Every structure is written in C-alpha cells, then in structure tokens.
Chain A
C-alpha cells in the first residue's frame, strides 16, 4: 500500500470522523512526520493535513449524511432530479444517495440488489474485501509493534493490488 501523499510505502494509518464524514488515509513515515500526524496534538482536520494531496481518502461510506446538490461527475443537480425523476450519470447515485434512498422503498421490493452481477465485479469485490481485511490486520500488527508480521501483510497487499489493477485494466 502506497502513501497518499508521495509514492513511498505507507506505514501510518489514519482515520478521522468529523462532521459526519469518515476519512481514511495512509501515509509513509516521512510524510506523517511532516504533517504532524505522529504528534497527537497535531491531529487536525484531514483537509489541513493533506492539503491538495491526491484524494484517495474514503468518504463514500458516510457520504449520505452530507447532501450535495450537484454531481461532480456530470453537473446534474438535485433540482433536475426532483423535476424529471431521472439521473445524469451513474455517479449521481452516490451524489444524491440520500434523496434516492428515500424514494426507493416506494419503487421496489427491496433496497439491495440480489440478482445477477458481472463475473469481473464479483472477483473485484472479493479482492476489495480481502484488501480491507488485510489493511485492518496490518493496522493491528503495527499497533502491536509486530513489524515482521506487518511486513508480510504489506507484501500480500501489494500482490493483491497488482491483481486488482489487472482486473480493472
């Protein structure tokens, strides 16, 4: 797993919950030092820490709590949706999740898909699941200062990430 700020190996895992938003990011030792993460006093807002760093941070899980009125992907607005009942692009489902989730129960028998999904996606999902498990294990190993184990897990993660790229490309 690589540092969100530079391309070095990441060893610092940071999770922040603020304003109903969950942010996770990973940094290498040097970047963590530079951004003051190793100093508990320096745990400020993620934005301040990362500045304009590439946004690999995960904000999706809690995105529904922060309504947005325009889709970043295609520029479609919540007002458009309320007017025509249709969406601008696949990403709108994430942008307007809250509004859409309110409407789904009146349209459908259930709220989650149980039908067919493409094979590639199944593999990809399994891989992502595995990756998030390993990341958690890595965090624990680091916390326990079990560096030998952490290194092993880190290598596993690297292998899997290569595999994910192969599926996506």
Chain B
C-alpha cells in the first residue's frame, strides 16, 4: 500500500502533462455518484452503518485491478493537514474532508482515479485526465463502475436511474468538469459575457475548488448541471463542444490583446514576474493571480516556455496545505506567506533569475 508521503512526492500524471492542448484546458474530471441499494445515504446513516459500508467497499476497491499499490486510507486516520492536501489535489472533496468517521479514500498510484467512500454518496468514482479529455475520463470512471457491478448492488431505479443522496445528481450520477485558465477573456473584459452564455446553456461555472469558491488565478471550472434525461455521451459531447468553444475564444482573446494592447499585456506579465521574483511575503491569492499572468506570458512566448509547467506546479504547491506539508509542520499564515514567496523564487530562479540579488544574509 502506498504511503501518504509517497503520494505527495509524486505529482499526479495529469499535473505533469504539457502541450498545446493544456494551454487553456488544464484538466478534465468525471465523477460518478453511486449508492448501495437499500442502505441509508451517508448523511443520514448511523455511524455503525457508515462504518459497515466503508469496510465492505474499501476492500473491494483496493482489490480492483487498476488500484493495486495505490493509496488507501480511512479518513479518520489522517490529520487535518493531510486531508487538506488531498482536497487541494482534488482527490477528495471539501465536504468529505469535513466528514471523517466511516469515510475513506482510495487513490491509484498515478492519481488518475480517486474513489471516495461515504462522501455525500456511498461511493464517488472520480477520474482525472489532463487537457480536454472528458470522454477519456468518463471511460476510466465507467470501467471502475462496471468492475464493481459484479460484487456490489447499486441503487438504481428504471425510471430515475442511479439514486443519489441529492436529487440534483440523479440519473447518470455523472458530473463532468474541466478546469480552464482564462486570463485573456478576463483581461479583455469578455469573461462576464462568456460565463453568462455558459450558464444559459445549462452548464455551471465555478471557481478553483468547486461549489461556492471564488475564481482565483483566472481559473474556472465548467461542468454539467443536469444529470437526468440525457445519456452520458450526450452530456459529454455538449460539454466538450462548449469547453472547446470557450478555449477558442480564449486563444482569440489572447491574440487580439497582443495585437491591440501589447503594452498593457506586457505590463501585467512583467509586473507579475517582478513581484514573483522579488517578493518576500506573498499570500496564496496574490501568488495565484501573478502565476496566472506569468503562465499567460509563457503561453504567448513573452516568457520562457518552461514556465507553463512550473506555474502549474506552483498553482498546487503554494496552496496552504501543500506548503505546510513540504515544511513538515503547521505554519501560521504569516509564516506561510514567507515560505511561499521563497518557494516561488526558488522554482523561478533558473528561468527568471533576478537582476539584482537582494537576499543578503536572510534566507
């Protein structure tokens, strides 16, 4: 069984992939909500019932062919920091981190599959792929679903499909989403219009960490809202088309900005580079917003190309829990901001060395 530390040492394979495709669409995720027939949903089940569900599911999940040598834990065995790290990696949800007893997480070695036990539903099968690959992510999640069918009886109604704790997930139980980096649409003030259009198509737009979170670093998640009345394929096709369109608008917006307002674009990117290479204290929010600009600079060939990958890594590594995990201890926000600035400088040093060394004796 893989240890927590090993999981953290390795970036997920969807974090490492980089090419043209990932310049706008960073990742695609598909999750399927499943529940056991005739068993109360986790939110209403007694502790004993939840514990029984976790035990029976966890061993079945661990023995799935793709999950061997993966990470498998009861969440109550993890400390709050470890749980927060998993949330930042999108391997468990914020809701699940808060709900500990009888809850479990099984993640494969490549971190492309994350199985959550007793989150809002008994089981949530999540698959993550880089770039716009919703269909591939679905295939991966679906294969786990099918493998489990033989040994688990899921709650399914012929009319309503898969039965879920919340009726908003009814039917396919499928939520598919992509994470998009949209600085071009934000800088050209078109983002409001685009988001409104997406909403009109019956799709949801959220911030970095899902429901109720604000957009940071110009990162947006687009997902389906309706789960009943359409096939999985129809939902995935529509999402793929809309997300592809948004990605094209973003590229057009970037090209237009470079032609029509090159000074403004370079000013924003240059300021971000300056702050990130010289700052000694930086909050997570400020870091995300500057890293977003730096990544844009790299995508536009204004900055060295390798910065795309470095920025994506830093998006994750500078999050509060990841930062504290790498420091090996819990840190106060002020200490985190100092460590974050230091980590960013170190990562950027080879591509963007500061013209003047101001470090002196301190760090």
Q: Which residues of A contact B (CB under 8 A)?
A: 73-74, 76, 80, 84-91, 93, 100, 103-104, 107-121, 125
Contacts and interface: CB of A to CB of B under 8 A. Distances in A.
Given A86-B44, A104-B170, A116-B232, 5 more contacts: A103-B167, A108-B171, A110-B228, A112-B229, A113-B157
B159 A113 contact: yes
Given A100-B167, A103-B167, A110-B230, A115 B161 contact: yes
Contact of B38 (A73, A93, A109, A119): A73
A contacts with B: majority SS: loop
Interface in B221-273: 225-232
B202 interface: yes
Interface string B10-53: 00000000000000000000000001011111011000000000
A89 B41 contact: yes
A114 B229 contact: yes
B140 interface: no
5 contacts: A73-B38, A88-B41, A93-B157, A117-B161, A118-B149
Interface residues on B, range: 35 or more
Contacts of A109: 202, 226, 228-230
A116 B142 contact: yes
Contact of A86 (B156, B160, B165, B225): B165
B156 A118 contact: yes
B210 to A, nearest CB: 17
B172 interface: yes
Contacts of A125: 158
Most chain A Cβ neighbours within 10 Å, of B41, B120, B167: B167
Contacts of B229: 108-114
A66 B226 CA distance: 28
Contact of B166 (A74, A86, A118): A86
Of A76, A109, A116, the most chain B CB neighbours within 10 A belong to A116
B160 A112 contact: yes
Nearest to A120: B149
A103 B64 CA distance: 37
B156 A107 contact: no
B47 to A, nearest CB: 15
A146 B80 CA distance: 73
Nearest to A80: B44
B41 A87 contact: yes
Contact of B165 (A87, A91, A118, A121): A87
Contact of B170 (A91, A108, A117): A108
Given A103-B167, A111-B228, A113-B172, A86 B41 contact: yes
Contact of A113 (B149, B154, B165, B171): B171
Given A109-B230, A117-B156, A118-B156, A89 B39 contact: yes
Contacts of B120: 86
Contacts of A86: 41, 43-44, 120, 165-166
A90 B155 contact: yes
B163 A108 contact: no
A114 B227 CA distance: 10
B168 interface: yes
Contacts of A88: 40-41, 44
B166 A114 contact: no
A103 to B, nearest CB: 6
Contacts of A107: 167-168, 170, 225-226, 228
A119 B231 CA distance: 16
Nearest to B227: A108
A129 to B, nearest CB: 10
Interface in B186-231: 202, 225-231
B44 A115 contact: no
Contacts of B44: 74, 76, 80, 86-89
What are the nearest 10 A-B pairs in CB distance?
A110-B229, A113-B161, A90-B155, A108-B228, A88-B44, A109-B229, A115-B172, A90-B163, A89-B40, A109-B226
Residue among A87, A91, A93 with the highest chain B CB neighbour number at 10 A: A87
